[in-house]
Amino acid sequence: MPFTPILATLGYIFSPDGREVLLIHRNARTNDPHFGKYNGLGGKLERDEDVVAGFHREIREEAGISCDELNLAGTISWPGFGKNGEDWFGFIFRVTHWSGTPFASNPEGALEWVPVERVMTLPLWDGDRFFLPLVFDPAAPAFHGVMPYQGGRPICWSYSTLPR
């Protein structure tokens, strides 16, 4: 069976000094499967856009800012991640320079600057705890992982990096 995932982007926007990251606290809709969790910003790609253009669009829509400098932290395949078992494939970005004033909130919840060292203490998707250390280490090479989900939870995690 061919792998036909939903393509998405996920980004972590860092403060100018790199000590904080802008996250969304999904607290606006109680019927949201992400309700109560913190997450990076991003979303599904549109049919007619490339990954970087889709990421820029999502950040403008969700945070009201423009990404001036970003790099690919990695990619993750999430088989079975969707609420109906859909497969997802995500492109994970670090944003180190941006312009504009971030929104205080959007229809999904409040946008909050969180100290990087505090992120792992927040309510997150269980799987985020596996890959976020790679995202928050600016010296880490780009990673390419797979994290199958079953029953709304990750069942394993593995990743590779390319030699520099």
Give pLDDT, residue 57. Answer: 98
The rounded distance, in Å, linking the Cα atoms of 125 and 35 is: 11
Residue 110, classed as helix, strand or coil, is: strand
Mean pLDDT score across all residues of the chain: 95
Q: Where are the domains of the chain?
A: 6-161
Contacts of 34 (CB under 8 A, 6+ apart): 26, 108, 125
Mention the CATH class of domain 6-161: alpha beta
Which DSSP string do the residues of 24-84 spell out, in sequence order? EE--S-TT-TTTT-EE-EEEEPPTT--HHHHHHHHHHHHHS-EEEEEEEEEEEEETT-STT
Give pLDDT, residue 60. Answer: 98
Percent of the chain with pLDDT over 90: 90
Q: What's the N-to-C CA distance of the chain in angstroms?
A: 33
Query: pTM for the whole thing?
Result: 0.94
Question: If you average pLDDT over residues 21-48, what whole number do you get?
Answer: 95
Closest C-alpha among 152, 29, 139, 49 to residue 94: 139
* pLDDT tens readout for residues 80-91: 998 889 999 999
The DSSP H or E segment spanning 14 is: strand 6-14
